Structure 1
């Protein structure tokens, strides 16, 4: 089978993403019913971390074990990507010993260079530019709550025509939301402080038709089906923390923003969250918040992704 990588959301077609949502629902159903499902028995996932993580490590590691596979965990000191050994050489060596590689690092260029020389699929666990696995989980979570058909099954086309309000930094999450909107037919209302806008060239969009920019975050939230945000200071930008606190002061998602969204609007946050900064406690801990489902669903969509990259479209 042709080697496929998942380095950014746009690496897959809309049809492939819809398949992953439906497959994730079936894999999650098996998990909840304690049905043993080991399609990746004797397969090994290498996880390479240059950026620390809780959710990424637990979701990938637990997910691979649940699929019957095994995991090799490498940190910055273990892997030496691009330092003691060129990235290209590391890719050639590691990919001869495992079946799948997940990398969580800084620059997108590192993961792209690794994938270019890998003999196995490579998954982006997060880079400064993109976070595709998180948006997979977010969209799947939205479909679970607002996208079921009459038989209670996920309808991936229920995303079409929806409005997602992104309030905060024009970071890797925002870039990936914009890619997803362009592919899957929904609109992103984007509101960032001046100087922290999304770079359309980095996001790699063909046009600006799938998003609208708002200077006022309250206006961005009006009529939204989903309101979502992220920390104000992403990993690697800690030196800007105080400057960002001042710049983002009006971009804290609060109850008033949720009130101008649709009555059944959901709130999401990729976590970890700082209550009182990017989101008020009454929102993230309130009835519209689905952040805990969202966190769990990282594992289920990633299981569907790993299965797809290694086995193609499995039906059972």
Structure 2
């Protein structure tokens, strides 16, 4: 039986990750020629070209694009197996890459990371904040925190806690345009949209009635905090998590509408790549964040 060329697969994954044969060779600690030969060996074995190469540009072919994720999984699982063996005899060390939404990340994840580093000084955290839906496999993240009604996915997901989402507007807006009494009425109002989740708002009423509306209005943005000035100025209605709008509600700058029609299914999730093999340092961070935010969300 002919065994797969695991070294060639791993080097191919490194070239994809670093977007360069030279950078991949430096990261691995071998010559550029060694990496080039390994990738050429893999191309011969597969009978296909993986990269388009020019003097100025390196790009994946369609075949390379199709195989890149599998190569990344092979590399991750091999690293995970080696690191699990090493970590069994010592405290977890090394880098863990974490992605989180901007507002939630600044208000809660940053503090959690500080406590995590204090508790586990051997672990390093690369925290990236973005409201875009990152591809954690392609972008090489170990963990992503996501607030959403999570669709089916090949990723491993742990639901940490429900997140209350409120429909809010300024008193000035409601005085001028009226207060919606049913979600269907939102279709006639100026509603702000979240750019990374444009689509239908789903609600469940006190008697189990379900309602859905596709809002439209003058503002689309990829960050909830960016909606607040226009909201408080009385320019529209938005649906936002409580940790963004609760201070404005307490100050009277916004009021909640349709409180008896909660949004269904919104929760904080912790996502990881599909491989079941993870280094011990990643497991430590997963457990720490899961416990921290389970308590945070239930304690607010």
Could you state the TM-score of these two structures normalised by the residue count of structure 2? 0.27
Instruction: Report which of the two has the higher share of strand.
Output: 2
Could you state the TM-score of these two structures normalised by the residue count of structure 1? 0.26
Bigger Rg over Cα? 2
